[in-house]
Amino acid sequence: MADQETLLNLAADEAAVAGFLAGSGGRLARDEADPATYWLAARPASAPHETYYIKVTWTAYPHQAASVKFADGIGGSVTAPQAWPVIPGYRAASLDICKPMTAEGFALHPEWQSGPDAWPTEGNPFMWLAEMLQYDLDNSYTGRAA
């Protein structure tokens, strides 16, 4: 369970994320059971009929990257490869994003935890994550994983 500092910091940053996602036809919802977990709905610009649901779970915000999983709906299962988009570095079979922007990526590559790949802690890292997820959907998306 996340600490009070994390929850306060998330509360300060979430409105900007919600506004950004809404501008791309998506939305942000806070999990009812875990206030440090959010569900993002986002659409690729090239396939606006496709909605992807992303579970983002923070443990120590803004100090550590969040766990990022694609789900089959808001509050849904995170074990379905079909919930994942086909984007380089997004591994539907492993159910993770192997990039220096997620807890899963940093766990796989400890060398990313320092230097230019390190998780950013200034400003609004939640927004940074949301922008990169939306950027990948808009610019690197080629379809839904089979």
Shortest CB 1 distance to another protein, Å: 25
- CA 70, CA 78: separation in Å to the nearest integer? 6
- CA 111, CA 3: separation in Å to the nearest integer? 26
Residue 88 in the binding site for another protein (CB under 8 A)? yes
Detail the DSSP E strand segments found in the chain: 27-30, 37-42, 52-57, 67-71, 90-91, 96-97
Stretch that binds another protein, among 29-37, 48-56, 77-85, 133-141 (CB under 8 A): 133-141
- CA 38, CA 10: separation in Å to the nearest integer? 10
3-class SS letters over 51-70: CEEEEEECCCCCCCCCEEEE
Q: Count residues binding another protein (CB under 8 A).
A: 27
Of 56 and 97, which has the nearer Cβ to another protein? 97
Stretch that binds another protein, among 30-38, 50-58, 68-76, 119-127 (CB under 8 A): 119-127
Q: Which of 7, 47, 95, 98 is in the footprint of another protein by CB under 8 A?
A: 98
Residue 21: phi, psi to the nearest 5?
A: -65, -40
The contact mask relative to another protein for 57-76 (x = CB under 8 A, - = no) is: --------------------
Residue 105 in the binding site for another protein (CB under 8 A)? yes
Q: Which of 19, 48, 73, 120 is in the footprint of another protein by CB under 8 A?
A: 120
